[in-house]
Chain A
């Protein structure tokens, strides 16, 4: 079956630091890959996505590249802000798995001023 593994948190950074959250996946088909963010007390918001190999998704300074050869979709940001503090979820959707999103366990990011 499908699975998503992402680095455990919490990740604590100072403002303006570089962020990397690792995400690797296993899938039986040709998945689309997503990063969602969950701010405290809220639902999930799409951060970025990539639908085929070598695609780069980007939004709000965050980016991630779909690497089929390493089955990875690592999230990066060059300079984090306090407002980026949230839980980040890597997810995949696979045509062999009936459109369900398979999520990683989430990574809590805390950015200190």
Chain B
């Protein structure tokens, strides 16, 4: 069974540009989560989508947004990129929406903002 997949694997952008990251969950999983792993800041929760709806949002500015499609895949959009957005962006999926559910992570997209 395929795991969580993310694309692209690496991305280089310049300040002020916009970027879209993509995630395909494990087949049958309806919840998708996005996390940012920035150097020195650890892993921080960005967004949670379940059944096409945004269910929770972390402490990030509105220029971080996303959506979930009917097939449960998801996009993360970041507008007006800033240098501090350079990070590894991890997507995770879970079978259900309970807190006991395991979140399975993809390999991540590494974004560098110059």
Contacts and interface: CB of A to CB of B under 8 A. Distances in A.
Sorting the interface of chain A by its residue count into under 10, 10 to 19, 20 to 34 or 35 or more gives: 20 to 34
A103 interface: yes
Interface stretch (B11-19, B66-74, B104-112): B104-112
Contact of B58 (A31, A36, A100, A106): A100
A100 B33 contact: yes
Contact of B55 (A49, A91, A99): A99
Interface in B69-109: 90, 92, 97-108
B107 A34 contact: no
Contact of A45 (B35, B97, B105): B105
Nearest to A45: B105
A28 to B, nearest CB: 12
Nearest to A36: B105
Interface string A38-55: 000011111001010000
A49 B103 CA distance: 11
Contact of A100 (B42, B56, B100, B101): B56
A93 B100 contact: yes
Nearest to A51: B100
Contacts of B24: none
Contacts of A46: 102-104
A94 B99 contact: yes
B105 A99 contact: no
A44 B90 contact: yes
Contact of A43 (B56, B98, B100, B106): B106
Contact of B45 (A34, A43, A100): A100
A36 B100 CA distance: 14
